[in-house]
A and B are shown apart, each in its own frame.
Chain A
Amino acid sequence: EVHLVESGGGLVKPGGSLRLSCVVSGFTFSNAWMSWVRQAPGKGLEWVGRIKSKIDGGTTDYAAPVKGRFTISRDDSKNTLFLQMNSLETEDTAVYYCTTFGDLSPDYWGQGTLVTVSS
């Protein structure tokens, strides 16, 4: 069974940094493309970025609002996906979900971790 468990959320001041983690199980992580999606309180879903598997180049793509501030990385030896978030803004307040990437669609989702950016 596929499991994704995010952690690392919390309260951070504007301009601060936070690193989210997503530990996965139930599939071969090293072969998987992965994605982050966020949801601001009471709002819809917004794609944050994706990372390809190392065998496919390991490259990343980001949504315009986070490009240059957020970085996605992975540690295949630990079945873990990361989201490094720098220069955080109040608009980044959201629940952050990690997702698998199946059939060019985010197929499996974690339970999410809440990031609150506030002074």
Chain B
Amino acid sequence: DVVMTQSPLSLPVTLGQPASISCRSSQSLVYSDGNTYLSWFQQRPGQSPRRLIYRVSNRDSGVPDTFSGSGSGTDFTLKISRVEAEHVGVYYCVQGTHWPQGFTFGPGTKVDIK
């Protein structure tokens, strides 16, 4: 089964500074149709998860360009260009390529303010 890892697991950031989260999969996430089904989610404290990025680098509607996704194959990155207080929460990567194993989430990266 594919395993998702993230680093770091905890990320204290100064307001206004950039942040970067790494996500790695144990197998390639390139699907038979040529697409790579890696997405990123934000979960603010006490809230449901919200999708930010799908297919590696596509921002969902309403997601500011402060967030960007990149990567290929097995290595992916979520970047926040300038961290704001509202960005505090846990960020998860998830793969949707390998079925019937199903969605596999990374362990999450907790972002907070220094």
Chain A residues in the interface with B (C-beta under 8 A): 35, 37, 44-47, 49-50, 61-63, 97, 102-112
Contact = CB atoms under 8 A, between A and B. Distances in A.
Contacts of B48: 97, 109-112
Contacts of A63: 102
Contacts of A46: 105
Contacts of B55: 103, 105
Given A44-B92, A45-B49, A105 B39 contact: yes
A37 B92 contact: no
A63 B97 CA distance: 15
If over half of B's interface residues share one DSSP class (helix, strand or loop), that class is named, otherwise mixed; here it is loop
B103 A106 contact: yes
Contact of B102 (A44, A49, A108, A111): A49
B102 A50 contact: yes
B83 interface: no
A5 B104 CA distance: 23
Interface of B: 31, 37, 39, 41, 43, 48-51, 54-55, 60, 90, 92, 94, 96-97, 99-100, 102-108
A47 B49 contact: no
A97 B104 CA distance: 15
Contacts of B94: 45, 105-106
Contacts of B104: 47
Nearest to B58: A103
Contacts of B97: 104
A112 B50 CA distance: 13
Given A50-B102, A105-B94, 16 more contacts: A44-B105, A44-B106, A44-B107, A44-B108, A45-B43, A45-B49, A45-B94, A47-B104, A61-B99, A62-B102, A63-B102, A103-B39, A104-B97, A106-B51, A106-B103, A107-B60
A54 to B, nearest CB: 18
A47 B100 contact: no
